[in-house]
Amino acid sequence: MVSLVGRKVSVKVPATSANLGPGFDTLGMALSFYDELEVEAVAGVGAFVEVHGEGEGEVPTDASNLVVQSIAYTFKKFGQELPGLRLTAHNIIPHGRGMGSSGAAVVSGIVAAKGLLEGIVEMTDKDLLDIATELEGHPDNVAPALFGGLTIAWEDESGPHHKKLFVHRGVSPLELVPNHKMSTALARSLQPESVPHNDAVFNVSRSALLIAALTQSPELMLAATEDRLHQDYRAAAMPETDSLVQLMREHGHAAVVSGAGPSVLVLASDPAERLEAAKLAAKHYPEWKALMLAVDFKGATVVLHQ
Ligand code: HSE
């Protein structure tokens, strides 16, 4: 077997916002806000992890680290022997805020493994999505982190699939981020087993419309981001998020819960509207951070330095 010792990769993975209102467990978007990671294959066994920024002093720095586990899982999947690993993570995606930080950790491990195994193992986009979904559980989170843009994710008997779409250049995302966290498991526990037929039809119409709004007709965004499948059920667990979404929407801004919350994503139709939305948020929720971001079109990238 070829020795990987000395191989070093640099990885960059975007934050994501899943659901986008009506597209529960289906739609997601990559945002220009990145975690970066360097991984070096070293002699011996085990992993040494250094974390800077978000998660520093909180996430494990040994083999139980989620990025290390994702690298190890990918190596195992392709029958490759895992070398010793030295990782340095520079994280800015906040944890537990609905911006895809755990998806980004999983994806960064998988693409790091892809880079370390360049020329030895060929991995297709489908392989990457399969592995990421096995590890993270939600293809709507990991598809945009892997591939960028707006993604539609679905699953069938052959596993997860995705379609990447390019977003209209007017669409101007504003991510509003509080200091507190929300647990995805708690948010999911609030979902009912079944929903009224009318609500299902409502969401089918809005998510179909949302694809049109995001790719061709941003002026339809407010109607296109209405939802009856998840946000109301989860509102009691994040009252501030719920009132911020309502405040924004009353003023005509297409606000939705970002992922499982508690952040709020505003999908403004143009930069001027986004500025107005940011001012409104700053006036009523001054302690929330406002991030004016672009849609990321590249997704995760990896560079191998031999
Ligand atoms: N679609 C998922 C949810 C995204 O809202 O529960 C968070 O992982």
> Is residue 1 over pLDDT 80?
no
CA–centroid distance, 33 to ligand 1, in Å, is 19
**Cα(94) to centroid of ligand 1, in Å?**
16
Q: What is the pLDDT of residues 131-157, one digit of tens each?
A: 999 999 989 999 999 999 999 999 999
Q: What local confidence, expressed as pLDDT, does residue 138 receive?
A: 85
Topology annotation, domain 172-292: Alpha-Beta Plaits (3.30.70)
CATH topology of domain 8-165+295-305: Ribosomal Protein S5; domain 2 (3.30.230)
In this prediction, residue 49 carries a pLDDT of 97
- Ligand 1 atom index nearest CA of 102: 8
Predicted confidence (pLDDT) per residue in 8-58, tens digit: 999 999 999 999 999 999 999 999 999 999 999 999 999 999 999 999 999
Predicted confidence (pLDDT) per residue in 66-124, tens digit:
999 999 999 999 999 999 999 999 999 999 999 999 999 999 999 999 999 999 999 99
DSSP string of the chain? ----TT-EEEEEEEEEEESTTT-TTTEEEEEEEEEEEEEEEESSSSEEEEEEETTTTTS--STTSHHHHHHHHHHHHTT----EEEEEEEE-SPTTSSS-HHHHHHHHHHHHHHHHTTTT----HHHHHHHHHHHHS-HHHHHHHHH-SEEEEEEETTEEEEEEEPPPTT-EEEEEE-SS---HHHHHHTS-S---HHHHHHHHHHHHHHHHHHHT-GGGHHHHT--SSSHHHHGGG-HHHHHHHHHHHHTT--EEE-TTSSSEEEEESSHHHHHHHHHHHHHH-TTSEEEE--B-SS--EEEEE-
Instruction: Determine the average pLDDT of the residues in 204-233.
Output: 98
Between the CA of 161 and the centroid of ligand 1 the distance, in Å, is 17
pLDDT band at 178 (very low <50, low <70, confident <90, very high): very high
Q: Closest residue (by CA) to atom 2 of ligand 1?
A: 25
What pLDDT does 202 receive? 98
Q: How far is the CA of 24 from the centre of ligand 1 (A)?
A: 7
**Amino acid 149: pLDDT:** 98
Within 6 Å (CB) of ligand 1, which residues are found?
A: 18-19, 25, 138, 140-141, 184, 187-188, 259-260
In this prediction, residue 3 has a pLDDT band, given cuts at 50, 70 and 90, of: confident
Tell me how far the alpha carbon of residue 68 lies from the centroid of ligand 1, in angstroms.
23
What residues does CATH 3.30.230.10 cover in the chain? 8-165+295-305
Region(s) of the chain under CATH 3.30.70.890: 172-292
Mutational pocket test of ligand 1: of 135, 188, 234, the residue with most ligand atoms within 8 Å of the beta carbon? 188
Nearest CA to ligand 1 atom 5: 260
> Whole-angstrom Cα distance, residue 227 to residue 235?
12
- Residue 267 predicted with pLDDT over 80: yes
